[in-house]
Amino acid sequence: MGTSVIVSDKYFLHKRSQKIFDFKIGIERYLAEGSLLHGQHIASVRNRCVECHGQDLGGRRIIDHLGSGVIVSPNISPRKLDRWSNDDIATLLRMGVKPDGTAVVMMPVYETQHLSAQDIASLIIWLRSVPPVTGIEPKISPGPFLTIPFALGVFPAFMPAESGIIRKKKVYQPYLEPQISPTYGSYLARTSCVACHGLTLKGGWIPGLPRNWPKAKDITKTGIGSWSEEEFVATMKSGINPAGIPFKVHGTPEIKKNFYDLELRALYLYLSGVP
Ligand code: HEC
Ligand code: HEC
């Protein structure tokens, strides 16, 4: 065990310091299509940036555990991001690489990579609008529960840009008009549910997290297919499923309440048909 920890830490540090991209994903020409309110909705409800980076975006201790190590997410308020260009932010969300070309860790880039240019533009507008805060000192010191599964190739989401699960195309997902359609539901699921429910949406243990965390549930046809649309919407808003069982990890009552009905109905239409 001791040796494998050292080996995997070296492997991790080596991988993390490697420069892997040297291009930027242009966002400037889409900025006029973004909206502050939409950005706030994505950051606080759909993608929940605030759950990891803190309500004030000053950074947050998201993991502190003997096996998983310590991960303190960085400050992403204007105090920090003022030094980043809009393209720097877009490239991080789309490709999972920082301005110095190295790979980012733990950021759910396999979700944000699928955001449309308009959604990313909205996020940038919102990120630039919040008050700057001093925040806390970030720390990325992952333990063996994170680095070993990554080194073995079973936890690609840990360093998504390194592990090949990022679409390396220099284009954005086309913009989809919000509407109650399976296409829009699939967009929402890919951009905000797969991080925990898995790429197949069948649920299971969330990689890298301590074993005492609840497993994510199956949210495909076999999991929620027997629920009505009303039951699904009510479940997402209340955090209590149709069997009356409350579930954890779905954010604060505020987050749940603020999902738009249109989004939940589109999600239901899509998810209840996923085999
Ligand atoms: C699961 C937790 C998590 C969520 C959710 C999350 N982030 Fe992060 N984010 C991180 C961690 C951890 C890092 C630090 C990664 C590193 O340094 O390798 C990070 C890094 C960043 C950085 C780079 C900052 C820097 O100084 O290097 C930006 C910008 C960022 N996140 C923006 C966002 C936005 C916008 C969202 C919502 C769309 C978001 N994050 C959602 C965990 C998260
Ligand atoms: C931060 C991780 C995370 C994210 C993101 C997430 N979920 Fe979950 N979800 C979970 C976990 C873990 C459970 C099971 C919790 C428990 O058993 O207490 C769960 C449970 C559920 C349930 C209840 C299922 C049941 O049978 O009781 C539904 C429905 C659900 N999630 C839908 C979604 C949808 C739709 C999205 C995307 C919009 C989503 N989740 C995003 C982690 C997450």
Q: What digits encode the pLDDT tens for the residues 79-110?
A: 999 999 999 999 999 999 999 888 899 899 98
User: Is residue 131 pLDDT above 90, yes or no?
Assistant: yes
Q: How far apart are CA 118 and CA 116, in angstroms?
A: 5
Which residues is 248 bridged to in the sheet? none
Confidence category of residue 7, pLDDT binned at 50, 70, 90? low
Q: Return the CATH architecture of domain 2-163.
A: Orthogonal Bundle (1.10)
Ligand located closest to 71 CA? 1
Q: What pLDDT digit, counting tens, does each position of 133-174 carry?
A: 999 999 999 998 888 888 888 888 888 888 878 877 778 988
Within 6 Å (CB) of ligand 1, which residues are found?
A: 43, 47-49, 51-53, 62, 71, 73-74, 76, 80, 89, 92, 98, 104-108, 112, 123, 140
Identity of the residue numbered 134: T
For atom 34 of ligand 1, which residue has the closest CA? 49
- Domain segments of the chain: what residues? 2-163, 182-271
- Does the Cβ of 238 fall within 6 Å of ligand 2? no
* CA–centroid distance, residue 229 to ligand 1 (Å): 33
DSSP 32: G
Q: Which of 104, 197, 201 is nearest to 158 (CA)?
A: 104
- Please tell me the predicted confidence (pLDDT) of residue 174: 85
Which tokens in the block code for residue 157?
């989401």
- Does the Cβ of 192 fall within 6 Å of ligand 2? yes
Q: What pLDDT digit, counting tens, does each position of 22-43 carry?
A: 778 899 999 999 999 999 999 9
Q: What pLDDT digit, counting tens, does each position of 38-67 carry?
A: 999 999 999 999 999 999 999 999 999 888
Locus of tokens 């966002």: 27
- Please tell me the predicted confidence (pLDDT) of residue 156: 83
Q: What is the mean pLDDT of residues 215-219?
A: 95
Which tokens in the block code for residue 62?
């998201």
Q: How far apart are CA 87 and CA 101, in angstroms?
A: 13
- Please tell me the predicted confidence (pLDDT) of residue 1: 45
pTM of the model: 0.94
| Residue 275, Cβ density class (10 Å: 0-12 exposed, 13-18 middle, ≥19 buried) | exposed
CB atoms within 10 A of CB 228: 11
- Please tell me the predicted confidence (pLDDT) of residue 5: 56
Helix segments in the chain, DSSP class H: 2-17, 36-41, 49-53, 78-81, 86-95, 109-112, 117-129, 144-151, 160-163, 182-192, 194-197, 221-224, 229-238, 253-257, 261-271
Q: What pLDDT digit, counting tens, does each position of 225-252 carry?
A: 999 999 999 999 999 999 999 988 888 8
Which tokens in the block code for residue 89?
């932010």
